[in-house]
Amino acid sequence: MTAPWWKGAVVYQIYPRSFCDADGDGIGDLPGVRSKLDYVSALGPDAVWLSPIHPSPNKDFGYDVSDYGDVAAEMGGMAAFDALLADMRGRGIRLILDEVLAHTSERHDWFAESLKGEEGRKNDWYVWADPKDDGGPPNNWLSVFGGPAWSYHPARRKYYFHKFLKSQPKLNWRDPAARAAALDVLRFWLKKGVDGFRLDVANSFLHDDKLRDNPPIPPNLRSAHHWAHAPNMQKRIHDSNLPENRKVLDEVRAVVEGFDERFVFGEFSEEPGLIGEFVGQTHGLQSGYTFTFLDDRSYSPAIFAAYYRFLKDRPHVWPCVTFSNHDVARTVSRFGGGKQDDALAKSALTLLMSLKGTVLMYQGEELGLGNGAIAQDEVRDPVGELYFPYSKGRDPARTPMPWVRDAAHAGFSTAKPWLPVDARHAERAANVQEGDPDSVLNFTRALIAARRGIPALVTGDIEILEASEQVLAFNRILPEQTVLCVFNLSREPATFALPRMSSVSPFEFGPGGWGFGGPGLTLKPFGAFFGQQI
> For this structure, is 251 an active site residue?
yes
Task: Provide the 8-state DSSP code for 465.
Answer: E
Give the DSSP letter string of 210-261.
Answer: T-PPPPBPPGGG--HHHHTSGGGGB--SSSS--TTHHHHHHHHHHHHHTSTT
Q: What span, in angstroms and rounded, lies between the C-alpha atoms of 445 and 410? A: 22
CB 443 within 8 A of CB 346: yes
CATH no., domain 10-105+175-451: 3.20.20.80
Q: What span, in angstroms and rounded, lies between the C-alpha atoms of 17 and 355? A: 30
Q: What span, in angstroms and rounded, lies between the C-alpha atoms of 294 and 297? A: 8
Handedness of CA 416, 421, 427, 430 (dihedral sign): negative
Residue 421: left (phi > 0), alpha (psi -120 to 50), or beta? Answer: beta
Q: Which residues contact 208 (CB under 8 A, 6 or more apart)?
A: 237, 238, 239, 242
Q: What span, in angstroms and rounded, lies between the C-alpha atoms of 351 and 485? A: 9
Candidates 2.60.40.1180, 1.10.287.950, 1.10.510.10, 3.40.640.10; CATH matching 460-533:
2.60.40.1180
- The domain 109-161 having CATH identifier 1.10.3720.10: the answer here is no
Catalytic residue chosen out of the listed positions 46, 200, 277, 365: 200
pLDDT (0 to 100) of residue 502: 60
pLDDT (0 to 100) of residue 339: 81
Q: What span, in angstroms and rounded, lies between the C-alpha atoms of 445 and 423? A: 24
Whole-model pTM: value is 0.98
> For this structure, is 200 an active site residue?
yes
521 φ, ψ to 5°? -95, 135
pLDDT (0 to 100) of residue 132: 98
Q: What is the dihedral of CA 184, 190, 191, 195, to 10 degrees?
A: 180
Handedness of CA 65, 70, 74, 75 (dihedral sign): positive
> What Cα–Cα distance (Å) separates residue 419 from each residue in 27, 158, 354, 373, 389?
9, 37, 33, 10, 17
Handedness of CA 301, 302, 307, 313 (dihedral sign): positive
Q: Where are the domains of the chain?
A: 10-105+175-451, 109-161, 460-533
Catalytic residue chosen out of the listed positions 82, 251, 295, 434: 251
CA 469 to chain centre: 27
Helix (H) or strand (E) holding 13: strand 10-14
CA 354 to chain centre: 18
Q: What span, in angstroms and rounded, lies between the C-alpha atoms of 350 and 527? A: 10
> What does the pLDDT profile of the chain (534 residues) look like in tens digits?
689 999 999 999 999 999 999 999 999 999 999 999 999 999 999 999 999 999 999 999 999 999 999 999 999 999 999 999 999 999 999 999 999 999 999 999 999 999 999 998 999 999 999 999 999 999 999 999 999 999 999 999 999 999 999 999 999 999 999 999 999 999 999 999 999 999 999 999 999 999 999 999 999 999 998 998 999 999 999 999 999 999 999 999 999 999 999 999 999 999 999 999 999 999 999 999 999 999 999 999 999 999 999 999 999 999 999 999 999 999 999 999 888 899 999 999 999 999 999 999 999 999 999 999 999 999 999 999 999 999 999 999 999 999 999 999 999 999 999 999 999 999 999 999 999 999 999 999 999 999 999 999 999 999 999 999 999 999 999 999 999 999 999 999 999 998 765 688 999 999 999 998 766 899 999 999 999 988
Pairing of strands 196-199, 94-99: parallel
- 523 by Cβ neighbours in 10 Å (0-12 / 13-18 / 19+) ranks as buried
